[in-house]
Chain A
Protein backbone atom coordinates (compact mmCIF):
# COMPACT_ATOMS: atom_id res chain seq x y z
CA UNK A 1 0.00 0.00 0.00
CA UNK A 2 2.62 2.47 1.11
CA UNK A 3 4.76 1.39 -1.79
CA UNK A 4 1.96 2.10 -4.26
CA UNK A 5 1.51 5.57 -2.83
CA UNK A 6 5.20 6.19 -3.10
CA UNK A 7 5.27 5.04 -6.70
CA UNK A 8 2.34 7.30 -7.39
CA UNK A 9 4.10 10.16 -5.78
CA UNK A 10 7.14 9.46 -7.87
CA UNK A 11 5.15 10.17 -11.01
CA UNK A 12 4.32 13.66 -9.75
CA UNK A 13 6.75 16.50 -10.05
CA UNK A 14 7.29 19.99 -11.37
CA UNK A 15 6.57 20.50 -15.05
CA UNK A 16 10.18 21.40 -15.78
CA UNK A 17 11.10 17.75 -15.23
CA UNK A 18 9.24 16.67 -18.38
CA UNK A 19 11.69 16.08 -21.22
CA UNK A 20 10.69 17.13 -24.73
CA UNK A 21 8.25 14.56 -26.11
CA UNK A 22 6.94 13.60 -22.68
CA UNK A 23 3.31 14.18 -21.76
CA UNK A 24 1.78 14.90 -18.39
CA UNK A 25 -1.38 15.79 -16.54
CA UNK A 26 -1.57 18.98 -14.50
CA UNK A 27 -2.42 18.03 -10.92
CA UNK A 28 -1.91 21.36 -9.21
CA UNK A 29 -0.22 24.74 -9.04
CA UNK A 30 2.14 25.67 -6.24
CA UNK A 31 2.22 29.40 -7.03
CA UNK A 32 -0.17 31.94 -5.59
CA UNK A 33 -1.39 35.35 -6.54
CA UNK A 34 -0.88 36.76 -10.00
CA UNK A 35 1.56 34.05 -11.07
CA UNK A 36 -1.11 31.47 -10.40
CA UNK A 37 -3.69 33.60 -12.16
CA UNK A 38 -1.38 33.94 -15.15
CA UNK A 39 -0.70 30.21 -15.39
CA UNK A 40 -4.42 29.47 -15.20
CA UNK A 41 -5.06 32.05 -17.94
CA UNK A 42 -2.48 30.34 -20.13
CA UNK A 43 -4.42 27.09 -19.78
CA UNK A 44 -2.42 25.31 -17.07
CA UNK A 45 -5.55 24.29 -15.20
CA UNK A 46 -5.60 21.15 -13.06
CA UNK A 47 -6.81 18.26 -15.23
CA UNK A 48 -5.13 19.56 -18.37
CA UNK A 49 -3.07 17.15 -20.47
CA UNK A 50 0.03 18.75 -21.90
CA UNK A 51 3.24 17.82 -23.67
CA UNK A 52 6.74 19.22 -23.63
CA UNK A 53 7.48 20.09 -27.25
CA UNK A 54 11.01 21.41 -27.39
CA UNK A 55 13.65 22.99 -25.25
CA UNK A 56 15.74 25.97 -26.23
CA UNK A 57 19.43 25.29 -26.92
CA UNK A 58 20.43 26.75 -23.56
CA UNK A 59 17.99 24.48 -21.74
CA UNK A 60 15.53 27.22 -20.84
CA UNK A 61 12.77 28.07 -21.69
CA UNK A 62 10.81 25.01 -22.78
CA UNK A 63 7.80 25.05 -25.09
CA UNK A 64 4.71 23.14 -24.01
CA UNK A 65 1.71 22.16 -26.07
CA UNK A 66 -1.33 22.94 -23.95
CA UNK A 67 -4.97 23.19 -24.97
CA UNK A 68 -4.24 23.81 -28.63
CA UNK A 69 -1.44 26.34 -28.30
CA UNK A 70 2.29 26.12 -27.77
CA UNK A 71 3.41 28.15 -24.77
CA UNK A 72 7.03 28.69 -23.76
CA UNK A 73 7.76 28.83 -20.06
CA UNK A 74 10.93 29.47 -18.14
CA UNK A 75 11.86 26.70 -15.76
CA UNK A 76 11.27 29.08 -12.85
CA UNK A 77 7.62 29.38 -13.89
CA UNK A 78 7.24 25.78 -15.01
CA UNK A 79 8.32 24.65 -11.55
CA UNK A 80 5.10 26.10 -10.18
CA UNK A 81 3.10 23.56 -12.15
CA UNK A 82 2.82 20.08 -10.70
CA UNK A 83 2.25 17.32 -13.22
CA UNK A 84 1.82 13.60 -13.22
CA UNK A 85 3.88 12.12 -16.00
CA UNK A 86 1.75 10.15 -18.48
CA UNK A 87 2.48 6.43 -18.03
CA UNK A 88 3.36 5.84 -21.68
CA UNK A 89 5.97 8.53 -21.60
CA UNK A 90 7.82 7.35 -18.49
CA UNK A 91 9.15 4.32 -20.29
CA UNK A 92 7.96 2.17 -17.37
CA UNK A 93 5.06 0.50 -19.11
CA UNK A 94 5.73 1.02 -22.79
CA UNK A 95 8.14 2.60 -25.20
CA UNK A 96 7.76 6.37 -25.47
CA UNK A 97 5.75 7.51 -28.47
CA UNK A 98 8.12 8.87 -31.02
CA UNK A 99 6.50 12.19 -31.94
Chain B
Protein backbone atom coordinates (compact mmCIF):
# COMPACT_ATOMS: atom_id res chain seq x y z
CA UNK B 1 0.00 0.00 0.00
CA UNK B 2 2.96 2.25 0.51
CA UNK B 3 3.36 4.07 -2.74
CA UNK B 4 6.47 5.61 -4.12
CA UNK B 5 4.66 8.08 -6.26
CA UNK B 6 5.97 11.56 -6.00
CA UNK B 7 4.44 14.18 -8.19
CA UNK B 8 6.39 17.36 -8.70
CA UNK B 9 3.44 19.48 -7.79
CA UNK B 10 0.61 17.94 -5.84
CA UNK B 11 -1.73 20.30 -7.61
CA UNK B 12 -1.03 19.50 -11.22
CA UNK B 13 -0.22 15.80 -11.64
CA UNK B 14 -0.97 12.43 -10.17
CA UNK B 15 -3.70 11.69 -7.72
CA UNK B 16 -4.22 14.61 -5.42
CA UNK B 17 -5.97 15.66 -2.27
CA UNK B 18 -8.87 16.70 -4.48
CA UNK B 19 -9.13 13.12 -5.76
CA UNK B 20 -9.25 11.93 -2.21
CA UNK B 21 -11.92 14.46 -1.44
CA UNK B 22 -13.88 13.17 -4.42
CA UNK B 23 -13.29 9.52 -3.54
CA UNK B 24 -14.56 10.17 -0.04
CA UNK B 25 -17.53 12.02 -1.44
CA UNK B 26 -20.06 9.34 -2.21
CA UNK B 27 -23.20 11.01 -3.57
CA UNK B 28 -25.35 12.27 -0.75
CA UNK B 29 -22.72 11.35 1.86
CA UNK B 30 -21.40 14.49 3.48
CA UNK B 31 -17.71 14.25 4.43
CA UNK B 32 -17.00 14.85 8.10
CA UNK B 33 -13.37 15.26 9.22
CA UNK B 34 -12.28 14.52 12.77
CA UNK B 35 -9.34 16.69 13.80
CA UNK B 36 -7.68 16.79 17.19
CA UNK B 37 -4.54 16.65 19.28
CA UNK B 38 -3.00 13.22 19.85
CA UNK B 39 -4.62 11.24 22.70
CA UNK B 40 -7.93 13.05 22.77
CA UNK B 41 -9.99 9.92 22.09
CA UNK B 42 -10.40 10.91 18.45
CA UNK B 43 -10.04 7.38 17.16
CA UNK B 44 -12.31 6.04 19.89
CA UNK B 45 -14.91 8.52 18.71
CA UNK B 46 -14.29 7.48 15.12
CA UNK B 47 -14.82 3.82 16.00
CA UNK B 48 -17.92 4.60 18.02
CA UNK B 49 -19.41 6.57 15.13
CA UNK B 50 -18.55 4.18 12.32
CA UNK B 51 -18.50 0.74 13.95
CA UNK B 52 -17.08 -1.75 11.47
CA UNK B 53 -18.01 0.27 8.43
CA UNK B 54 -14.50 1.58 7.88
CA UNK B 55 -11.44 1.21 5.71
CA UNK B 56 -8.14 2.99 5.31
CA UNK B 57 -6.94 4.88 2.29
CA UNK B 58 -3.54 6.21 1.34
CA UNK B 59 -3.01 9.91 1.10
CA UNK B 60 -1.78 10.56 -2.43
CA UNK B 61 1.99 10.75 -2.58
CA UNK B 62 2.45 10.33 1.14
CA UNK B 63 2.78 7.22 3.22
CA UNK B 64 0.09 8.19 5.65
CA UNK B 65 -3.02 6.12 6.04
CA UNK B 66 -6.30 7.87 6.56
CA UNK B 67 -9.08 5.90 8.19
CA UNK B 68 -12.47 6.44 6.63
CA UNK B 69 -15.80 5.09 7.73
CA UNK B 70 -19.50 5.54 7.37
CA UNK B 71 -21.73 6.77 10.17
CA UNK B 72 -25.49 6.50 9.91
CA UNK B 73 -27.57 9.07 11.69
CA UNK B 74 -31.31 9.63 11.36
CA UNK B 75 -31.49 7.81 8.06
CA UNK B 76 -28.55 9.62 6.49
CA UNK B 77 -25.02 8.37 5.83
CA UNK B 78 -21.92 10.42 6.58
CA UNK B 79 -18.37 9.66 5.51
CA UNK B 80 -16.18 10.16 8.57
CA UNK B 81 -12.45 10.77 8.03
CA UNK B 82 -10.15 10.26 11.02
CA UNK B 83 -7.27 12.69 10.49
CA UNK B 84 -3.86 12.09 12.11
CA UNK B 85 -3.56 13.65 15.56
CA UNK B 86 -1.92 17.05 15.41
CA UNK B 87 -1.19 19.95 17.73
CA UNK B 88 -1.31 22.49 14.98
CA UNK B 89 -2.22 23.13 11.38
CA UNK B 90 1.26 24.56 10.91
CA UNK B 91 2.55 21.24 9.68
CA UNK B 92 5.86 19.97 10.97
CA UNK B 93 5.53 16.29 10.08
CA UNK B 94 4.02 14.35 7.18
CA UNK B 95 1.09 13.27 9.36
CA UNK B 96 0.39 16.82 10.37
CA UNK B 97 0.62 18.12 6.84
CA UNK B 98 -1.94 15.51 5.79
CA UNK B 99 -4.36 16.74 8.44
CA UNK B 100 -3.71 20.34 7.48
CA UNK B 101 -3.92 19.79 3.72
CA UNK B 102 -7.09 17.76 4.03
CA UNK B 103 -8.82 20.56 5.92
CA UNK B 104 -7.47 23.29 3.66
CA UNK B 105 -7.86 21.59 0.29
CA UNK B 106 -10.21 18.62 0.36
CA UNK B 107 -12.66 20.84 2.23
CA UNK B 108 -14.81 18.43 4.24
CA UNK B 109 -18.46 19.42 4.58
CA UNK B 110 -18.15 19.52 8.36
CA UNK B 111 -15.11 19.43 10.63
CA UNK B 112 -15.24 18.23 14.22
CA UNK B 113 -12.39 19.27 16.49
CA UNK B 114 -12.04 16.64 19.19
CA UNK B 115 -10.72 18.31 22.34
CA UNK B 116 -9.56 16.72 25.57
CA UNK B 117 -11.59 18.29 28.39
CA UNK B 118 -8.88 17.36 30.92
CA UNK B 119 -6.40 19.74 29.31
CA UNK B 120 -8.64 21.99 27.32
CA UNK B 121 -6.31 24.97 27.10
CA UNK B 122 -3.76 23.00 25.11
CA UNK B 123 -6.46 21.75 22.74
CA UNK B 124 -7.90 25.18 21.98
CA UNK B 125 -4.83 26.10 19.93
CA UNK B 126 -5.85 23.64 17.22
CA UNK B 127 -9.53 24.51 17.63
CA UNK B 128 -8.81 28.19 16.92
CA UNK B 129 -6.71 27.28 13.89
CA UNK B 130 -9.43 25.05 12.45
CA UNK B 131 -11.93 27.83 13.06
CA UNK B 132 -9.70 30.02 10.88
CA UNK B 133 -10.00 27.48 8.08
CA UNK B 134 -13.71 26.73 8.03
CA UNK B 135 -17.10 27.94 9.23
CA UNK B 136 -18.65 24.50 9.33
CA UNK B 137 -16.99 23.36 12.50
CA UNK B 138 -18.01 22.00 15.88
CA UNK B 139 -15.93 21.27 18.96
CA UNK B 140 -16.39 17.87 20.56
CA UNK B 141 -15.47 18.25 24.22
CA UNK B 142 -14.43 14.68 24.92
CA UNK B 143 -13.42 12.94 28.16
CA UNK B 144 -15.70 15.16 30.24
CA UNK B 145 -16.09 12.30 32.75
CA UNK B 146 -12.35 12.18 33.33
CA UNK B 147 -12.21 15.95 33.64
CA UNK B 148 -14.96 15.79 36.24
CA UNK B 149 -13.02 13.16 38.18
CA UNK B 150 -10.14 15.59 38.20
CA UNK B 151 -12.48 18.21 39.64
CA UNK B 152 -12.75 20.14 36.40
CA UNK B 153 -16.17 21.13 35.14
CA UNK B 154 -16.23 22.41 31.57
CA UNK B 155 -18.88 24.96 30.70
CA UNK B 156 -19.77 24.01 27.13
CA UNK B 157 -22.24 26.88 26.78
CA UNK B 158 -19.67 29.48 27.72
CA UNK B 159 -17.06 27.91 25.47
CA UNK B 160 -19.59 27.94 22.65
CA UNK B 161 -20.14 31.66 23.17
CA UNK B 162 -16.39 32.30 23.30
CA UNK B 163 -15.58 30.36 20.14
CA UNK B 164 -18.75 31.13 18.19
CA UNK B 165 -19.17 27.49 17.14
CA UNK B 166 -21.21 24.62 18.64
CA UNK B 167 -19.59 22.70 21.50
CA UNK B 168 -20.84 19.22 22.40
CA UNK B 169 -19.70 17.37 25.53
CA UNK B 170 -19.05 13.66 24.98
CA UNK B 171 -17.66 10.53 26.56
CA UNK B 172 -16.74 8.59 23.43
CA UNK B 173 -15.76 5.42 25.33
CA UNK B 174 -19.29 5.15 26.68
CA UNK B 175 -21.05 6.52 23.63
CA UNK B 176 -22.38 9.47 25.61
CA UNK B 177 -23.22 12.64 23.68
CA UNK B 178 -22.65 11.07 20.26
CA UNK B 179 -26.29 11.50 19.21
CA UNK B 180 -26.12 15.20 19.98
CA UNK B 181 -22.76 15.44 18.25
CA UNK B 182 -24.20 13.91 15.07
CA UNK B 183 -27.29 16.13 15.34
CA UNK B 184 -24.90 19.08 15.39
CA UNK B 185 -22.93 17.72 12.43
CA UNK B 186 -26.18 17.21 10.52
CA UNK B 187 -27.30 20.73 11.34
CA UNK B 188 -24.01 22.26 10.25
CA UNK B 189 -24.12 20.28 7.02
CA UNK B 190 -27.69 21.21 6.17
CA UNK B 191 -27.29 24.80 7.27
CA UNK B 192 -29.89 24.69 10.04
CA UNK B 193 -27.00 25.43 12.42
CA UNK B 194 -24.90 28.42 11.48
CA UNK B 195 -21.75 29.53 13.23
CA UNK B 196 -20.17 32.86 14.02
CA UNK B 197 -16.56 31.85 14.49
CA UNK B 198 -14.35 34.20 16.46
CA UNK B 199 -11.30 34.74 14.35
CA UNK B 200 -7.94 36.26 14.94
CA UNK B 201 -7.38 39.55 13.19
CA UNK B 202 -3.65 40.09 12.83
CA UNK B 203 -1.75 43.32 13.14
CA UNK B 204 -2.21 45.69 10.17
CA UNK B 205 1.21 44.98 8.67
CA UNK B 206 0.54 41.24 8.69
CA UNK B 207 -2.94 41.67 7.31
CA UNK B 208 -1.42 43.76 4.53
CA UNK B 209 1.10 41.04 3.75
CA UNK B 210 -1.65 38.43 3.72
CA UNK B 211 -3.71 40.56 1.37
CA UNK B 212 -0.76 40.48 -1.02
CA UNK B 213 -0.23 36.73 -0.84
CA UNK B 214 -3.80 35.50 -0.82
CA UNK B 215 -4.59 36.39 -4.46
CA UNK B 216 -1.52 34.41 -5.60
CA UNK B 217 -2.65 31.45 -3.54
CA UNK B 218 -6.16 31.74 -4.88
CA UNK B 219 -4.99 31.71 -8.48
CA UNK B 220 -3.24 28.37 -8.02
CA UNK B 221 -5.90 26.48 -6.14
CA UNK B 222 -9.37 25.18 -6.90
CA UNK B 223 -12.35 27.20 -5.69
CA UNK B 224 -13.21 26.65 -2.07
CA UNK B 225 -9.66 26.10 -0.84
CA UNK B 226 -8.81 27.77 2.45
CA UNK B 227 -6.73 30.43 0.76
CA UNK B 228 -6.41 32.77 3.72
CA UNK B 229 -5.04 30.06 5.96
CA UNK B 230 -2.64 28.89 3.25
CA UNK B 231 -1.51 32.49 2.90
CA UNK B 232 -0.88 32.56 6.65
CA UNK B 233 1.16 29.39 6.38
CA UNK B 234 3.10 30.74 3.42
CA UNK B 235 3.78 33.95 5.30
CA UNK B 236 5.22 31.90 8.15
CA UNK B 237 7.64 30.31 5.69
CA UNK B 238 5.86 26.95 5.65
CA UNK B 239 7.43 25.26 2.63
CA UNK B 240 4.58 22.76 2.41
CA UNK B 241 2.14 25.56 1.76
CA UNK B 242 4.49 27.11 -0.77
CA UNK B 243 4.76 23.77 -2.55
CA UNK B 244 1.00 23.64 -2.81
CA UNK B 245 0.96 27.10 -4.22
CA UNK B 246 3.89 26.28 -6.49
CA UNK B 247 4.53 29.87 -7.34
CA UNK B 248 7.93 31.46 -7.07
CA UNK B 249 6.44 34.89 -6.88
CA UNK B 250 4.75 33.78 -3.67
CA UNK B 251 8.18 32.91 -2.36
CA UNK B 252 9.43 36.34 -3.37
CA UNK B 253 6.48 37.87 -1.65
CA UNK B 254 7.29 35.95 1.49
CA UNK B 255 10.85 37.23 1.29
CA UNK B 256 9.51 40.69 0.81
CA UNK B 257 7.32 40.43 3.84
CA UNK B 258 9.95 38.81 6.04
CA UNK B 259 10.08 41.98 8.09
CA UNK B 260 6.42 41.67 8.98
CA UNK B 261 6.90 38.04 9.93
CA UNK B 262 9.87 38.77 12.14
CA UNK B 263 8.00 41.56 13.82
CA UNK B 264 5.13 39.25 14.62
CA UNK B 265 7.10 36.24 15.77
CA UNK B 266 9.48 38.26 17.89
CA UNK B 267 6.60 40.06 19.49
CA UNK B 268 4.84 36.82 20.32
CA UNK B 269 4.20 36.64 24.04
CA UNK B 270 6.03 39.90 24.56
CA UNK B 271 4.18 42.49 22.56
CA UNK B 272 0.44 43.05 22.39
CA UNK B 273 -1.64 40.00 21.56
CA UNK B 274 -3.44 39.82 18.21
CA UNK B 275 -6.62 41.79 18.50
CA UNK B 276 -9.76 39.83 19.12
CA UNK B 277 -12.69 41.09 17.10
CA UNK B 278 -15.73 41.94 19.17
CA UNK B 279 -18.02 40.31 16.68
CA UNK B 280 -16.95 39.49 13.18
CA UNK B 281 -19.75 37.62 11.58
CA UNK B 282 -18.79 35.34 8.73
CA UNK B 283 -22.32 34.27 8.01
CA UNK B 284 -25.23 36.54 7.42
CA UNK B 285 -27.47 34.82 9.91
CA UNK B 286 -27.09 34.96 13.64
CA UNK B 287 -25.06 32.24 15.29
CA UNK B 288 -27.95 30.54 17.02
CA UNK B 289 -28.45 26.82 16.94
CA UNK B 290 -31.74 25.35 15.96
CA UNK B 291 -31.76 21.64 16.40
Chain A interface bracket (under 10, 10 to 19, 20 to 34, 35 or more): 10 to 19
B90, B118, B265, B270: which contacts A41 (Cβ < 8 A)? B90
> In whole angstroms, what is the CA distance A43 to B119 when docked?
11
| A-B pair number, CB within 8 angstroms | 51
CB distance from B212 to the nearest CB of A (A): 20
Contact B88 A41 (CB under 8 A): yes
CB distance from B88 to the nearest CB of A (A): 4
CB distance from B127 to the nearest CB of A (A): 13
Interface residues of A in 59-99 (CB under 8 A from B): 67-69
Any B CB within 8 A of the CB of A1: no
> In whole angstroms, what is the CA distance A74 to B84 when docked?
22
Give the chain B neighbours of A36 by CB distance below 8 A: 265, 268
Give the chain B neighbours of A67 by CB distance below 8 A: 119, 121-122
Given contacts A42-B87, A46-B270, contact A37 B122 (CB under 8 A): no
Contact A38 B90 (CB under 8 A): yes
> In whole angstroms, what is the CA distance A33 to B261 when docked?
9
B88, B118, B265: which has the most chain A beta carbons within 10 Å? Answer: B265
A contacts with B: majority SS: mixed
B92, B262, B269: which contacts A47 (Cβ < 8 A)? B269
CB distance from A80 to the nearest CB of B (A): 13
Contact A68 B122 (CB under 8 A): yes
Give the chain B neighbours of A40 by CB distance below 8 A: 268-269
Given contacts A38-B88, A41-B88, A42-B87, contact A33 B265 (CB under 8 A): yes
Task: Find the A residue at minimum CB distance from B87.
Answer: A41
Any A CB within 8 A of the CB of B183: no
Contact A45 B265 (CB under 8 A): no
Task: Find the B residue at minimum CB distance from A45.
Answer: B269
CB distance from A39 to the nearest CB of B (A): 10
Any B CB within 8 A of the CB of A58: no
A41, A43, A46, A68: which contacts B269 (Cβ < 8 A)? A46
> In whole angstroms, what is the CA distance A26 to B80 when docked?
39
B37, B92, B116, B118: which has the most chain A beta carbons within 10 Å? Answer: B92
Contact B119 A68 (CB under 8 A): yes
Any A CB within 8 A of the CB of B237: yes
Contact B119 A41 (CB under 8 A): no
- Which A residues are closer than 8 A to B by beta carbons? 28-29, 32-34, 36-38, 40-43, 45-47, 67-69
